[in-house]
């Protein structure tokens, strides 16, 4: 069995930025907090889980055209990234390359889709753990084979909760393969998805449990209360669009960069960006 760790690097770096103070700076005064937190999180995962492989997965396009074409509001309300963040992504890429750790992305797509595709292509005897703060990834959880779990950020990036299929059912009352429909009904404010008017988590769960699919639900509006019937009827276009927006893609092109570790370059990067501490801890964890 190979234990593979897929890190949702875009989601985790963003979380690390807000979890750690921007007073963590490189010698020239640039905040380096997100890279610092991400590398320490990776070291902790490697130490605790001793995985056979760790892959860092980036958003190639955080707002892919196929999703925006289906629903123009997709992520349209997102505040721009804090200005100290984009250059930290560039530093992180350089550091991961020098570490010789694989970096993956799906051209034209989000890390979500690259990860879902890699899960779909895993070997039957793999155990895949997806580390993320993005609820969309609950869609890929499965008993398997291969078994896929989500390690979800609870607080910052240092505390994670493990979600296997039973845990997703316990939390949401629906299995992972219905999560996309559940999210479409309930909405997801962080992605600009309003959901169906008046439908919260509880109603969404009841409806998903009662019907095999959203089309089956829409074919049975007569069985709903008048208010819900009207709301669902109004939401037909929205719900049809969500079929192209919420589901993660499982067969996109994924590119993986694998370089070899360059310890001299790492020492220099550690000095340049004041990352010597996290890089020492991560190298020790990888070498153990
Ligand atoms: Mn994402
Ligand atoms: Mn997402």
Q: Is the pLDDT of residue 21 over 90?
A: yes
pLDDT band at 20 (very low <50, low <70, confident <90, very high): very high
**Contact call for residues 103 and 58 (beta carbons, < 8 A):** yes
Q: Is the pLDDT of residue 268 over 90?
A: yes
Q: With pLDDT > 70 as the criterion, what percentage of the chain qualifies?
A: 100
Q: Is the pLDDT of residue 247 over 90?
A: yes
CA–centroid distance, residue 8 to ligand 1 (Å): 7
CA–centroid distance, residue 219 to ligand 1 (Å): 32
pLDDT tens digit string along 59-116? 999 999 999 999 999 999 988 889 999 999 999 999 999 999 999 999 999 999 999 9
Mean pLDDT, the chain, whole residue set: 96
pLDDT tens digit string along 217-237? 999 999 999 999 999 999 999
pLDDT of res. 146? 94
CA–centroid distance, residue 108 to ligand 1 (Å): 13
CA–centroid distance, residue 149 to ligand 2 (Å): 16
CA–centroid distance, residue 59 to ligand 1 (Å): 7
The model's pTM is 0.96
CA distance 5 to 23: 30
pLDDT of res. 28? 96
| Across 185-200, average pLDDT | 96
Q: What is the SS3 assignment for 43?
A: helix
- The kind and range of the H/E element at 131 are strand 126-132
pLDDT of res. 258? 94
The number of CA neighbours under 13 Å toward the Cβ of 274 is 12
pLDDT of res. 99? 98
**Contact call for residues 95 and 266 (beta carbons, < 8 A):** yes
Q: Would you give the DSSP letter of residue 124?
A: T
Q: Is the pLDDT of residue 157 over 90?
A: no
- Close Cβ partners of 287 (under 8 Å, ≥ 6 residues apart): none
Q: Is the pLDDT of residue 144 over 90?
A: no
Would you list the DSSP string of 61-120? Answer: -SS-HHHHHH-TTTTTTPPPPPTTSHHHHHHHHHHHHHHT--EEE-TTS-HHHHHHHHHH
**Contact call for residues 139 and 148 (beta carbons, < 8 A):** no
CA–centroid distance, residue 45 to ligand 1 (Å): 20
CA–centroid distance, residue 163 to ligand 1 (Å): 17
Q: Is the pLDDT of residue 196 over 90?
A: yes
Q: With pLDDT > 90 as the criterion, what percentage of the chain qualifies?
A: 96
CA–centroid distance, residue 287 to ligand 2 (Å): 33
């Amino acid at each position: 069995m190979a234990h593979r760790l897929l890190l949702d690097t875009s989601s985790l770096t963003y979380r690390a930025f807000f979890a750690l103070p921007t007073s963590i700076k490189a010698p020239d005064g640039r905040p380096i907090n997100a890279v610092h937190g991400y590398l320490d999180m990776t070291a902790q995962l490697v130490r605790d889980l001793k995985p056979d492989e760790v892959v860092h997965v980036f958003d190639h396009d955080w707002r892919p055209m196929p999703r925006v074409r289906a629903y123009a509001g997709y992520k349209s309300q997102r505040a721009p990234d804090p200005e100290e963040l984009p250059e930290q992504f560039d530093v992180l890429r350089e550091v991961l390359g020098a570490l010789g750790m694989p970096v993956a992305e799906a051209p034209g797509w989000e890390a979500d889709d690259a990860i879902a595709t890699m899960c779909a292509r895993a070997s039957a005897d793999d155990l895949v753990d997806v580390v993320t703060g993005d609820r969309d990834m609950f869609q890929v959880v499965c008993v398997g084979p291969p078994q896929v779990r989500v390690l979800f950020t609870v607080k910052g990036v240092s505390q994670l909760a493990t979600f296997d299929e039973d845990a997703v059912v316990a939390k949401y009352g629906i299995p992972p393969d219905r999560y996309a429909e559940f999210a479409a009904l309930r909405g997801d404010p962080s992605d600009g998805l309003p959901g169906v008017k008046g439908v919260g988590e509880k109603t969404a769960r009841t409806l998903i449990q009662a019907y095999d699919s959203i089309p089956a639900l829409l074919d049975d509006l007569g069985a709903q209360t008048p208010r819900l019937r009207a709301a669902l009827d109004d939401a037909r276009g929205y719900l049809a669009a969500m079929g192209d927006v919420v589901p993660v893609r499982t067969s996109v092109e994924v590119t993986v960069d694998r370089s070899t570790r360059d310890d001299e370059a790492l020492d220099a990067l550690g000095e340049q960006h004041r990352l010597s501490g996290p890089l020492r801890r991560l190298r020790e964890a990888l070498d153990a």
